[in-house]
Amino acid sequence: MSAAERPAAAGPGWRLDQVSSAGRENLDPVHVARYDAIEDADAEAEVALLGRLGLDRQSVVVDVGTGTGQLALAVAPHCARVVAVDVSPVMRARLRDKLDRVGARNVEVVAAGFLDYEHQGPPADVVYSRYALHHVPDFWKGVALARLHAVLRPGGVLRLWDVVYHFEPAEAEARLEAWCATGGPEGGPGWSRGDLEEHVREEHSTYTWVLEGLAERAGFRVEQALHSADGIFARYVFRRP
């Protein structure tokens, strides 16, 4: 496969507009240009984890919400095929530039998201998604997880990172204020307080028990669930039985 972009399929008018829901920053060329400097996907460690979960040279990996492709590029030498999926044309352009530089021939870029990606070829052994599912509301998370389940072969793995709240609703004000207080100044080298406030206010992070319930309803088995001490982040291994 080349890095040529496969266009998204047309969809019905009632479907969520995934581009508008992608988050202001992911459509902003200035933000995308600095994304790798402020957000480290720890991709090599993730590839090692996927290897322990069954990734091998024959594997097919689908990276949904690939962004600048940190994971897609890191995993490409370790598998047969990577499909890098993102709704943001700015993110896809950044990834294509990287692919042109490194010459990764087994990475395909697809203009799509959770709700309209149509898998082609043998089923995926691994679906990967990092900090992307929170861009769709809970109803659509359920649809998205069911669609990802269908992409995977039996025994395949969904590796999911996201902002997922692991605290009681009564704790929300204190927990969210503490998280937002960790943000830096506007224009600084990392995420600002305003960025974190915007996430809470305008994006769709949910509670762990909601997300885990949706995953189980979609047919996944929760194999691993790691929640950060502050109750803000979660890392999952879901497996299709």
Are 152 and 127 a contacting pair, CB within 8 Å?
A: yes
Position 3 scores a pLDDT of 47
Nearest to 115 by CA among 221, 11, 236, 218: 11
Position 8 scores a pLDDT of 57
Which residues lie across from 157 on neighbouring strands?
Answer: 126, 239
Domains along the chain?
A: 5-165+205-239 (3.40.50.150)
pTM score, two decimals? 0.93
Position 1 scores a pLDDT of 39
State yes or no: pLDDT of 90 exceeds 70.
Answer: yes
pLDDT tier at 6, thresholds 50, 70, 90: low
Q: What is the pLDDT of residues 216-229, one digit of tens each?
A: 999 999 999 999 99
Q: Is the alpha carbon torsion for 105, 115, 202, 177 positive or negative?
A: negative
Which residues lie across from 92 on neighbouring strands?
Answer: none
Q: Angle of helix 193-202 relative to helix 172-180, nearest 10 degrees? A: 140
Are 98 and 68 a contacting pair, CB within 8 Å?
A: yes
Structure tokens at 54: 């069954």
